Structure 1
């Protein structure tokens, strides 16, 4: 395996891992600080597997053993600033200039990247969304609110869509609603969270068209998306911002509308009619 950071290796290995190995990978991704000092036996106990599986998983990731894996964990942690450290850096830059300058600089960088995205890929995504039985927009944490916004806007355009925003065992209820003919649109960044892996497991099992919207860094949370769209989320050492992601998603909404303008017009007419029925007057969009 070529030299790469641990998170990238976990994302690459996860789709091919056995269930026991996947539990080890999930535990390592979620508990990197604890894993730094954990023995193979402790990791095995936490992941519900054996010492031998832990060692085998480390080797599958490309490390000679647990010591090499711990070294990679330490390097990953040094590279990943905490949310507090990221915000402190942006606050310091804002103090030196203007607070809005930090945000506008990040948004300009995002828009520059969005303008250079492959137009054929955007059209491909728009066609897939228009043809889908249902579109599942995934996002957890703050990205969940963005996923909810995107799903609501797709519904306004006449497309059956829902947001997948739950985590842990509750996410299983979301997974069982994903089926043949659907499209998965995932907002996910950097780390290979178990929910991301499970989502792409399901998409792969159903042979679904899948899209990953992620950051412009070198790491991917999963490598199996049919289309990957990268957009910066602020400075690499700064606080994660979502304005660029929103701009990209709204561009996708326009592309979806342009791909089937008649359905868009019909859906908006139906929405206006529903609003008039509620308000008793005109509320044209």
Structure 2
């Protein structure tokens, strides 16, 4: 387990509602023994809340030390705090507050069922991301963006589409932003950045070299760097001043990771945009109005 993962999730215990989200997000990066503990508390919060640290270790075939480490990785100072969160989550589930996990989409599912399953998965993904998002990291990223001389956003594939979405929004409130889709162009842009600029890397896996390389170049040149990723222990976070963690739905044959990660990434970039627009409202509002008027004029019958 990397120190980066530990540092990211031990500064503030998450609310009970965020526990299940953190298990889903952090599970793949845990050791197998820690995964057994995480899976057990997510599957049966009420039962695990009644167990001592020794009891949970015996139930999962692990050690007391593994249980405590798992609690800390999930964001709790110790096992006692995790038990309290488990009791809260169990109460929430009993009151009907926790959404059910739907089955994977099957190749012979009728379209009505596909719609229902996708809607449930998207809702769960958004709720998990919102519950696990570190608002102090988000606020710091917003502050940097609001005063940035220039903003670069790096992403490949679906993540580049998310980056373009953010750039278009920022441009409409008068900020200078770019989302180069070509990896070589991303690096050549990054080496021009300096203190006062911001670089954002969007990568669910956190291991995409074509995203890590320009972020590292920007980091080395003193720009403020932000990583939007589903893996807070991944390599990309080594070069990020601020880390915004996204959640994702379960990957399946007909639902690749890029689909569900895109949903949570869009939520995060929307939060960034709104935060920046709030901080720069005096200049953002007129710029946004000008862009609306320009588009309205372009599509008016007289202009046509």
Deviation at 1:224, TM superposition (A): 2.3
Counterpart mapping for 1:35-74 below 5 A: none
Superposition deviation, residue 3 in structure 1 = 8.5
TM-score, length-normalised on structure 2?
A: 0.56
What SS class does the counterpart of residue 265 from structure 2 fall into?
helix
Any gaps of 5 or more consecutive residues in structure 2? 6-102
- List aligned pairs for 1:6-155, cutoff 5 A: 90-92=104-106, 95=109, 98-116=113-131, 117-155=133-171
Are the equivalent residues in 2 in contact too, given 1:196–1:222 (CA < 8 A)?
Answer: no
What's the offset of the Cα at 1:111?
2.2
SS at match of 1:164: coil
Q: 1:172/1:158 Cα in 2 relative to 1: closer, same or farther (>3 Å)?
A: same
Aligned partners of 1:138 and 1:187 also within 8 Å: yes
Please tell me whether the aligned partners of residues 109 and 232 of structure 1 are also in contact (alpha carbons under 8 angstroms): no
- How far is the alpha carbon of 1:216 from its aligned partner? 5.2
Residues 170-203 of structure 1: per-residue CA shift (max 9 Å, x gap):
4443334433321011111225233233223212
Match of 2:198 among 183, 186, 189: 183
Counterpart check, 1:235 vs 2:250 = yes
Contact 2:2 2:233 in 1 (8 A): no
Q: 2:278 aligns with which of 258, 264, 268?
A: 258
Pairing 1:164-175 to 2, within 5 Å after superposition = 164-167=180-183, 169-175=184-190
1:279 Cα deviation after fit: 5.0
Residue 201 to residue 278, structure 1, CA distance change in 2 (3 Å): same
Q: Secondary structure at the match of 2:240?
A: coil
1 CA distance for matches of 2:115 and 2:166? 25
Q: What's the counterpart of residue 61 of structure 1?
A: none
> How many residues are aligned here?
198
Describe the superposition over 1:18-58 as per-residue Cα deviations: whole angstroms up to 9, x where unpaired: xxxxxxxxxxxxxxxxxxxxxxxxxxxxxxxxxxxxxxxxx
CA distance in 2, matches of 1:224, 1:231: 17
Verify: 1:197 aligned to 2:217, yes or no: no
Aligned-partner Cα distance in 2 for 1:3–1:226: 17
Give yes or no for contact 2:187–2:217 (8 Å, CA) kept in 1. no
**Root-mean-square deviation over aligned CA pairs:** 3.2
| Alpha-carbon spacing, 1:191–1:112, altered in 2? closer, same or farther (3 Å) | closer
Q: TM-score, normalised by structure 1?
A: 0.60
Deviation at 1:134, TM superposition (A): 0.9
Deviations 1:108-146 (A, max 9, x none): 222223333233322221111111001111111121111
Q: Which runs of 5 or more residues in structure 1 are unaligned? A: 9-88
